[in-house]
Amino acid sequence: MIFTSNKNPSTWDKYFIEQDSLLCALDRFFDDSMVFMIKGESYRGRKTETISLEAGISKSIK
């Protein structure tokens, strides 16, 4: 199983309601695991095209 997160496990307590549930989850994730901390530029969204539009009042030509 591969588990990925863009959050450091030390900050996961913000996302769990109870401290016990956090400790239980961390125990199961890291019991017999290999942890790779990868730093660098993200590949997520590299092909995303961004388009900006501006709305305004159009003037009619008579």
**pLDDT band at residue 16 under the 50/70/90 scheme:** confident
pTM of the model: 0.37
Between 3 and 49, the more confident residue is 49
Compute the mean pLDDT over every residue in the chain, rounded to the nearest whole number: 79
Given a contact cutoff of 8 angstroms between Cβ atoms, the answer to whether 23 and 9 are in contact is no
Can you tell me the distance from the alpha carbon of 28 to that of 11, in angstroms, rounded to the nearest whole number? 17
Whose tokens are 């016990």? That residue is: 20
Instruction: Compute the distance between CA of residue 61 and CA of residue 49 in angstroms, rounded to an integer.
Output: 34
Output the DSSP codes for 3-38: ---SS-GGGGGGT-SSHHHHHHHHHHHHTT------
